A and B are shown apart, each in its own frame.
Chain A
Amino acid sequence: MIAGKDSFSRLLFRTVNATLLIALGVACLLPLLHVIMASFSEPAKTLAYGGFILWPLGKPTLNGYKILLQYKNVWSGYANTLFYIVAQCLITGTLVFVASYVVTRKRLRYRNAMMAFMMFTMLFNGGMIPSYMVVRYLGLLDTYGAMLIPSAIGVFFIIILKTAIQGIPESLEESARIDGASAFTIMFRILLPLTKATFAVILLFVAVGKWNEWFSALIYLPTAKDKYPLQMFMREILIRNNDISNPNEVANNMQTYKTLVKYCAIVASTLPILLIYPFVQKYFVQGVMIGSIKG
């Protein structure tokens, strides 16, 4: 907009506007700050305090983290989640790339039919119960596959990668072919580098989706606790309020310590994401844009 000379009302507006935005920023940061500080506070004082904690209450303590570290499930949850993220990125990345490569080959007569076949699944799907039945009949329940195979492909990813590949000038491929490049060379030396940004966005979405996932573990891993992703254990600790066994008799006062461990668990499972976040923010913003083109 074009700024005129500031009248009084304009100045008032700008002040109110800036104040509200600062308030929003505070509202976004305050809960996170509270959690971090509470995780170092003396638990009894945290419970008694009842407001937003801006500095560690009492003597700063690492007890909560010590208890959390002894809780083996958190470790296995972390390991599983990392495995799921890496495996899913490899599987989904490969399949989406292959699918986008194939449906952008002009010499394929039925490439549009294949695309339609895949895109129809965006309009309508079978829903939770029939999908569960398919996974069950395939014998995938309680396997690592249950967490990876049903989520192996995203139509939306194929659409955006296809759009990106179509944006590459055809002459580039042609000249490579004339120079004797094989299909593999074209895939890995031309298409992949030129769609790097889109590919990064896709992998990022896959990774974040995997990091957050808990519901499919809930229905597809009914008994295999050893394959639970981190979020399922977080659910045990934070929501279901159980599973924090205290091997050290640190406190008779379990309820107090449970709260402390909850805060520590939130920090331990959110900090990695927040630390990576500044480096990947760019791709997220891009992702929203790419999504909106097709939205």
Chain B
Amino acid sequence: MRMKTEKRPAPIGYANAGGLRNLPRNLAVDLRRNAGLYLIMLPILLWFLVFCYAPMFGLGMAFERFTPGKGFFASPWVGLQNFRNFFESIYFLRLIRNTLVLGLLDLAIGFPAPILLALMLNELRSKAFKRTVQTISYLPYFISTVILCGLIVLFVQSGGAISNLLVGFTGGKSVNLLGNGDSFRLVFVLSGVWQFVGYGSIIFMAALSAIDHEQYEAAVIDGAGRWKQLLHVTLPGIMPTVIVLLILKMSSLLSVASDKILLLYSPAIYEKADVIGTYVYRVGIINMDYGYSAAVGLFNSVVATILLLSSNAISRRFSESSLF
């Protein structure tokens, strides 16, 4: 049966497409011929419709005074009121600032760290030592977010091992590092580095091992020392990988791990620790101000998409690498 299908000459309307005009007919022909395939695909496409596209259209509630009882279609339309409320509130600048500060801190420390680790591992001659360090450095990646935050709380509370360690350097009294906005930021970013540095280095290790050995030989013949080899062979060799990952990182600048912040922050430090994601949760899920929180979320999504597209464009302009 299937063999017959394969060998049957394509019916008219399939081979010469004819653009959109013939869409209904093409679709009908295709649906009839491959009914089984489309049938098993149907639930999957429906899932996308319900769980991805419906929320997208549901963003319309950002322009409504939305109440679940009235629903999407009956809730009163308020235009840009929700956005205006957000932009005029004290939260707007504070959230942007906090989100950017945490995102940029993570970019400045969290992004180069795995590259540096990969370069350092690359200098090792002992395979066993290298593998041991790698395996150990992956370990923190496997700790769940909740447990990681539990660890952080235990270590940086007043009298915790890390707080005490810090007192050893700076003197003074052992304090809860999560109780202060500035140290909260550092704890947040550095714990992220701790968790991801090893795992993040895997991809750079692969890029490093993909560099052609002959390039190093040529460089040595040209009189390059280790430093020059690093500068002119190694770094250009991993640059495409670095740039692609940098674009990804830039595009997620606004999506700081808000679930981690949610576990670690406290009202006392909202001023410095509250970010868009946590605010949307509080206002939307806890206070049930759905229309307004959807507006804040929409604002976030739009800015994030702009960030992705522009960092991609910049990278395409100045280098060979881009995502699309």
Residues of A within 8 A of B300 (CB): 127
The minimal Cβ–Cβ distance linking A99 to chain B, given in whole angstroms, is 5
Number of A interface residues, CB 8 Å? 93
Residues of B within 8 A of A161 (CB): none
- Say whether A134 contacts B263, CB under 8 Å: no
Given contacts A17-B120, A98-B44, A153-B44, contact A25 B132 (CB under 8 A): yes
Residues of A within 8 A of B217 (CB): 2
| Complexed CA–CA distance, A23 and B145 (Å) | 24
Residues of A within 8 A of B149 (CB): 238-239
Residues of A within 8 A of B3 (CB): 177-178
Q: Is A189 at the interface (CB under 8 A from chain B)?
A: no
Q: Is B90 at the interface (CB under 8 A from chain A)?
A: no
| Complexed CA–CA distance, A24 and B116 (Å) | 12
- Say whether A238 contacts B51, CB under 8 Å: no
Q: Is B92 at the interface (CB under 8 A from chain A)?
A: no
Using CB atoms, name the residue of chain B closest to A22. B133
Given contacts A1-B226, A17-B124, A52-B161, contact A262 B150 (CB under 8 A): yes
The minimal Cβ–Cβ distance linking B42 to chain A, given in whole angstroms, is 10
- Say whether B48 contacts A24, CB under 8 Å: no
The minimal Cβ–Cβ distance linking B72 to chain A, given in whole angstroms, is 8
- Say whether A238 contacts B150, CB under 8 Å: yes
Q: List A residues 46-64 near B (Cβ within 8 Å).
A: 47, 50-53
| Complexed CA–CA distance, A229 and B227 (Å) | 51
Residue in A281, A285, A295 whose beta carbon sits within 8 Å of that of B245 in the complex: A295
The minimal Cβ–Cβ distance linking B265 to chain A, given in whole angstroms, is 11
The minimal Cβ–Cβ distance linking A138 to chain B, given in whole angstroms, is 8
- Say whether B136 contacts A29, CB under 8 Å: yes
The minimal Cβ–Cβ distance linking A235 to chain B, given in whole angstroms, is 5
- Say whether B55 contacts A177, CB under 8 Å: no
Q: Is B104 at the interface (CB under 8 A from chain A)?
A: no
Using CB atoms, name the residue of chain A closest to B52. A121
Residues of A within 8 A of B197 (CB): 24
Given contacts A109-B14, A266-B150, contact A130 B164 (CB under 8 A): no
Residues of B within 8 A of A137 (CB): 68, 71
Q: Is B80 at the interface (CB under 8 A from chain A)?
A: no
Residue in B34, B139, B230 whose beta carbon sits within 8 Å of that of A28 in the complex: B139
Residues of B within 8 A of A102 (CB): 37-38, 40-41, 44
Residues of A within 8 A of B264 (CB): 239
Q: List B residues 91-141 near A (Cβ within 8 Å).
A: 117, 120-125, 129, 132-133, 135-140
- Say whether B139 contacts A29, CB under 8 Å: yes
The minimal Cβ–Cβ distance linking B57 to chain A, given in whole angstroms, is 8
The minimal Cβ–Cβ distance linking A244 to chain B, given in whole angstroms, is 13
Residues of B within 8 A of A195 (CB): none
Residue in A2, A35, A50, A212 whose beta carbon sits within 8 Å of that of B174 in the complex: A50
- Say whether A129 contacts B61, CB under 8 Å: yes
Given contacts A50-B174, A183-B2, A277-B142, contact A20 B120 (CB under 8 A): yes
Q: Is A132 at the interface (CB under 8 A from chain B)?
A: yes
Residues of B within 8 A of A237 (CB): 150
Leading 8 A-B pairs by shortest Cβ distance: A126-B55, A238-B150, A130-B58, A130-B55, A127-B297, A121-B52, A212-B144, A109-B30
Can you report 27 residue pairs joining A to B where beta carbons are below 8 Å apart? A2-B217, A2-B229, A13-B123, A22-B133, A50-B164, A95-B43, A95-B44, A102-B41, A105-B34, A126-B55, A129-B280, A129-B285, A130-B61, A133-B68, A133-B290, A137-B71, A152-B51, A153-B47, A183-B36, A215-B259, A219-B281, A232-B146, A238-B146, A239-B263, A269-B144, A273-B142, A292-B244
18 additional A-B pairs beyond A99-B44, A108-B34, A270-B147, beta carbons within 8 Å, are A3-B125, A13-B123, A21-B124, A107-B33, A108-B30, A108-B38, A118-B44, A118-B45, A126-B59, A131-B55, A137-B71, A152-B47, A214-B259, A234-B150, A238-B150, A239-B150, A273-B144, A292-B244
